[in-house]
């Protein structure tokens, strides 16, 4: 088969022949019908610091996908050939303290798909039944692929009280945009969408942001304070990882408010503990992955009931062998979610 392979340390990746995996006892073989690019993939592609310390090339990149089961291992109990599945990225052990106390998403022995194991930017992908998610056949295949990041947004949204609140979302990429859709649907009264790329602000508007702020053009803190009668917001979501977002976000967070942090800064950043957290009596929540499998059930419900139209966030489509074009587009920021097709030709 062919795959997008991180073949050696350094930036970039190659498209090359790779042995087709065989499913083990508890695994299925999936023909990948759609696979989407995540911020994590971009960081691996760019060879960011944490990547350098963690990954061991060569391996197949990618973790967001939807595909058809074409072969089933002998001990697999609930999946059948022909099922349409996706996979949880956090491959948990099921046995450690965290797994056994309802926190499998932060398993002590966790491996990440497409980071610590071979991923899904390929014709076929080997999937352990434990991390598989059976999709509703009515969900379009690219939407099923992108439900994993929607899950990040669902996990973030459920980390703070939103109904009747004023919220600010810093970073309006695909996950931030989905989060805005959820905030709207969960009844936030004001939703500030903040980014430095107009394309993404448009995405934020499409998903229901009530005020758009380009941080490169306006004084975000002054504007939000002005529009909230000087109080600031009840909830600050950091979805970008950009250092100024942390500073501006905590400054507009009202005393007693909640900060939900999801974005990963590219390097250590300065953090004003006393003014941002202690003196404000603020609550701070980190969000990593999705709660297993609670978030997947909630996400499926969000899709089924149309609470968030994920297809609006999917803006570009490529064949898998065009991956370098896709990564370049992603780097420009002028896109939402990008979906790639390994097993059919696509022109768009
Ligand atoms: Zn992802
Ligand atoms: Zn575990």
Residues 134-158 have pLDDT tens digits of 999 999 999 999 999 999 999 999 9
Ligand nearest to the CA of 44: 1
Ligand nearest to the CA of 35: 1
Q: What is the CATH number of domain 153-286?
A: 3.40.50.720
Mean pLDDT (whole number) for 83-101: 98
Ligand nearest to the CA of 146: 1
Ligand nearest to the CA of 65: 1
Ligand nearest to the CA of 95: 2
* pLDDT number for residue 266: 87
CATH 3.90.180.10 assigned to domain 2-146+313-341? The reply is yes
pLDDT tier at 195 (50, 70, 90 boundaries)? very high
Q: How many CB atoms lie within 10 A of CB 110?
A: 19
Ligand nearest to the CA of 92: 2
3-state percent helix, strand, coil for the chain, nearest multiple of 5: 30, 25, 40
β-sheet bridge partners, residue 113: 117
Rounded to 10 deg, the angle between the 323-332 and 39-46 helix axes is 100
Look at residue 152 and give its three-state secondary structure. helix
* pLDDT number for residue 148: 94
Å from CA of 97 to ligand 2 middle: 7
Å from CA of 64 to ligand 1 middle: 6
Å from CA of 250 to ligand 2 middle: 33
Mean pLDDT (whole number) for 186-198: 98
Question: What is the CA 278 to chain-centroid distance, rounded?
Answer: 30
Peptide bond into 58 cis (omega under 30): yes
pTM: 0.96
* pLDDT number for residue 348: 56
* pLDDT number for residue 347: 62
* pLDDT number for residue 40: 94
Å from CA of 94 to ligand 2 middle: 5
Q: How many CB atoms lie within 10 A of CB 247?
A: 17
pLDDT tier at 255 (50, 70, 90 boundaries)? very high
Å from CA of 83 to ligand 1 middle: 22
Q: How many CB atoms lie within 10 A of CB 111?
A: 14
Residue boundaries of the structural domains of the chain: 2-146+313-341, 153-286
The C-alpha angle 177, 168, 235, rounded to 5 degrees, equals 120
Give CA–CA dist 2/47, Å, rounded: 22
Å from CA of 240 to ligand 1 middle: 14
Give CA–CA dist 30/248, Å, rounded: 44
pLDDT tier at 14 (50, 70, 90 boundaries)? very high
Ligand nearest to the CA of 101: 2
Sign of CA dihedral 194, 200, 202, 207: negative
């Amino acid at each position: 088969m062919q795959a997008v392979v991180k073949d050696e340390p350094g930036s970039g990746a190659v498209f090359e022949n790779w042995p087709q995996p065989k499913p083990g006892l508890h695994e299925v073989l999936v023909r990948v019908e759609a696979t989407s690019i995540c911020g994590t993939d971009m960081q691996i592609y760019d060879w960011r610091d944490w990547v350098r310390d963690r990954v061991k090339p060569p391996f197949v990149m990618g973790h967001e996908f939807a595909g058809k089961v074409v072969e089933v291992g002998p001990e697999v109990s609930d999946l059948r050939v022909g099922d349409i599945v996706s996979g949880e990225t956090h491959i948990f052990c099921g046995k450690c303290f965290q797994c056994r106390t309802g926190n499998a998403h932060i398993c002590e022995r966790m491996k990440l798909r497409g980071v610590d194991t071979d991923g899904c930017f390929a014709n076929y992908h080997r999937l352990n039944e434990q991390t598989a998610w059976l999709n509703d056949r009515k969900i379009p295949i690219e939407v099923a692929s992108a439900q994993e990041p929607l899950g990040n947004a669902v996990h973030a949204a459920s980390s703070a009280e939103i109904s009747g609140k004023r919220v600010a979302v810093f970073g309006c990429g695909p996950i931030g945009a989905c989060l805005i859709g959820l905030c709207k649907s969960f009844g936030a009264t004001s939703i500030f969408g903040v980014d430095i790329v107009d394309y993404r602000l448009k995405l934020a508007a499409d998903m229901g942001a009530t005020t758009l702020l380009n941080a490169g053009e306006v004084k975000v803190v002054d504007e939000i304070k002005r529009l909230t009668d000087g109080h600031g917001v009840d909830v600050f979501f950091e979805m970008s990882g950009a250092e100024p977002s942390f500073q501006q976000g905590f400054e507009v967070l009202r005393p007693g408010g909640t900060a939900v942090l999801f974005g990963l800064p590219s390097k250590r950043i300065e953090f004003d503990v006393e003014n941002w957290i202690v003196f404000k009596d603020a609550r701070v929540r980190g969000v990593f992955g999705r709660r297993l499998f609670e978030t997947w059930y909630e996400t499926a419900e969000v899709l089924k009931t149309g609470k968030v139209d994920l297809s609006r966030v999917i803006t570009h489509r490529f064949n898998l062998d065009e991956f370098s074009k896709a990564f370049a587009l992603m780097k420009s920021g002028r896109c939402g979610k990008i979906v790639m097709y390994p097993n059919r030709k696509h022109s768009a």
